[in-house]
Structure 1
Amino acid sequence: MSPEELEQLKFPVGTFQKPNTITQDYIEECINTIEAFPQNIKDQINGLDLNALNYKYRPNGWNIKQVVHHCADSHMNSIIRFKLALTENTPTIRPYYEDRWATLIDGNDNNLENSLHILTGVHGKLGKLLRNISKEDLKREFVHPEHGKHFSLEETIGIYAWHSNHHLAHIKQALKFKGAFN
Structure 2
Amino acid sequence: MDLEQLKYPIGQFYMPEVFDQKQADIWVAEIEALPNQLKTATENLSDEELNQTYRPGGWTLRQVVHHVPDSHINAYIRFKQAITEDIPVIRPYYEERWAETGEAKFGDIKLSLDLLAALHQRWVAFLKTLKIEDYQRRYIHPAQGKELSLANMLGMYAWHGKHHLAHITNTVTK
Per the normalisation by structure 1, the TM-score is 0.92
Alignment correspondent of 1:119: 116
1:16 to 3, 7, 13: 13
Alignment correspondent of 2:80: 83
- Alpha-carbon distance in structure 2 between the residues aligned to 1:48 and 1:54: 10
Alignment correspondent of 1:180: none
- What root-mean-square deviation, in Å, do the aligned CA atoms of Structure 1 and Structure 2 show? 1.1
Q: Does 1:32 align with 2:18?
A: no
Query: Which residues in structure 2 correspond to 1:122-141 (within 5 Å)?
Result: 122-141=119-138
Q: Deviations over 1:95-143 (max 9, x none)?
A: 1111111010121134112111110011111111111102221111001
* Letter matched to residue 163 of structure 1: H
- Alpha-carbon distance in structure 1 between the residues aligned to 2:68 and 2:106: 14
Q: Percent identity?
A: 43
1:155 to 129, 152, 157: 152
Large movers: runs of 4+ above 3 Å:
none
* Letter matched to residue 33 of structure 1: E
Per the normalisation by structure 2, the TM-score is 0.96
Three-state SS of the structure 1 residue aligned to 2:140 is strand
* Letter matched to residue 30 of structure 2: T
Q: Does 1:100 align with 2:94?
A: no
- Alpha-carbon distance in structure 1 between the residues aligned to 2:115 and 2:66: 9
The answer on whether the counterparts of 1:50 and 1:110 sit within 8 Å (CA) in structure 2 is no
